[in-house]
Each structure stands twice: as structure tokens, then as C-alpha cells.
Amino acid sequence: MSIHIEAKQGQIADKILLPGDPLRAKFIAENFLEDAECFNTVRNMFGYTGTYKGHRVSVMGTGMGMPSISIYARELIVYYGVKKLIRVGTAGSINPDVHVRELVLAQAAATNSNIIRNDWPEYDFPQIADFGLLDKAYHIAKELGMTTHVGNVLSSDVFYSNMADRNISLGKLGVHAIEMEAAALYYLAAQHGVQALGIMTISDSLVNPEEDTTAEERQNTFTDMMKVGLETLIAE
């Protein structure tokens, strides 16, 4: 048992999906996993373990932002031995060619956070995905016929940013979307020698706002990233 996760040893699989929304974790467990059992309710950050196509898999919410995912991902890695971690969350497009409901695989994550810079002030330490997971996820998504973009995202510390126009301008440099967790997850993976990937569904667009979705749609209907995430976790 760790500080924020009440699971006993052995209750969490060595591969896990990490949605930000704990209710999305519940949705995944109820709709994709067999014999799912809840292993965490602390702070209503629900976590479940079950089987997917005969493979033992877990799913757990992480909350919003890099400080929150850093707590849960670190405890999962250090205390529970998780080796493969895939974030399945939402992101806002800043590229006119990246549309709502399409997938973004975060090959790398730029960030305006100091969470990495505090440890490495003399370097711009790059936050990159595990290539093995990235390669598998891309081919799985393409085989399933899903519109999928691979590239850079911005992991922001601020949702309601006073630098919105500046952030949007990153789209001209090939950055696909803004989200709030991937950079911290990738940094933790690098620190502990585990595999991590961010698979995001575009839920809204800063450049095409007429495409935006509702909160209920974001919680319950973005199943493409869930399917790709699960298939990637169990792929050999």
C-alpha cells in the first residue's frame, strides 16, 4: 500500500491505462475488461484490474495536470512494479489539420512546466515516448482505420492560459495539441526505466472551436484511444 493507492501487492497488473478522469477508468473497466475488480477508491481516484483478451491489465485515473499524474505514476512504478504505462486522455488541437475525435500519439512532449527543469536546470531534457509502444500503437490504429497523427504535443501547467495565442502559435511548428500530463509521465518513465506512451483524443480545437465536444462525450465516447491503448499494452 502506498500513500495514495490502497491496493495490496499483486492487485495491480504490470501494464496499465491511465486516463485523467477516474470515471473514464470506471467506464473502461466496465466496458472493456472482464472480471474487473476495484483496487483503489482513495480520493475517488478509481483503479481496476481485470483481463483483456486473456491478458491481465489495470486502469486507473490520474487526475488533471503533471503534479497529479506524477504522484500516481510514481507510486504505480515504484511500489507496484508497473512496467508499461499508457495515458489515454483528451487534448486540444492547435493545428488546423488535426480535428476533433482524431487520435494523437505523443512522440514527444514539450512543456512549459518546471517539473523537469527543477532537476535539470542546465539542460532542455527531451521528453519522448517509448518507441516500441509508439510503433505498435501507430500500426494498430492504422489497421483499425483510425485517423491518427504522430508528433509533438505541449504539456501545459495551465489550462486557462494567459499565453493562449502564444501556445496556439506552436501549431505552426508542427505541435499537434495541448494537454497536461504526458511530459511528466515520460520523465518518470525515463527515471525508472519503464515504458510510457500518451494516446490522446482531440476533444476540442483552439483553431476550429466549432468542433468542440461535451463533457459527457469526453467521458464516455472516446473509445478509439481505449481500444488502441489496450491492444498496444498486450501486443508482443
Task: Please indicate whether residue 204 is annotated as part of the active site.
Answer: yes
63 annotated among ligand-binding-site residues: no
Task: Tell me the pairing of strands 177-179 and 84-93.
Answer: antiparallel
Annotation-wise, does 218 bind a ligand? no
Say if residue 132 carries a ligand binding annotation: no
151 labelled as ligand-binding?
A: no
89 is in an annotated binding site: yes
Task: Report whether 179 belongs to an annotated binding site.
Answer: yes
Continuous segment of H or E residues that includes residue 134? helix 131-143
Q: Is 74 part of any known ligand binding site? A: no
50 is in an annotated binding site: no
CA distance 224 to 205: 18
Single-letter amino acid, residue 39? F
Cα 36 to Cα 72: distance, rounded to the nearest angstrom: 20
Identify which of 60, 201, 209, 56 has the alpha carbon closest to the alpha carbon of residue 137.
201
Active-site residue (options: 135, 204, 212, 224): 204
Q: Distance between alpha carbon 98 and the CA centroid of its chain, in Å? A: 18
Is 214 annotated as contributing to ligand binding?
no
CA 50, distance to chain mean position in Å, is 19
What cell numbers appear for 203 in the block? Answer: 476533444
Which residue type does 1 have? M
The answer to whether the annotation marks 203 as part of a ligand binding site is: yes
The residues pairing with 205 across neighbouring beta strands, listed in sequence order, are 93
Active site residues per annotation: 204
Binding-site residue ranges for a purine D-ribonucleoside: 4, 179-181, 203-204
User: Which residue ranges make up the annotated binding site for phosphate?
Assistant: 20, 24, 43, 87-90
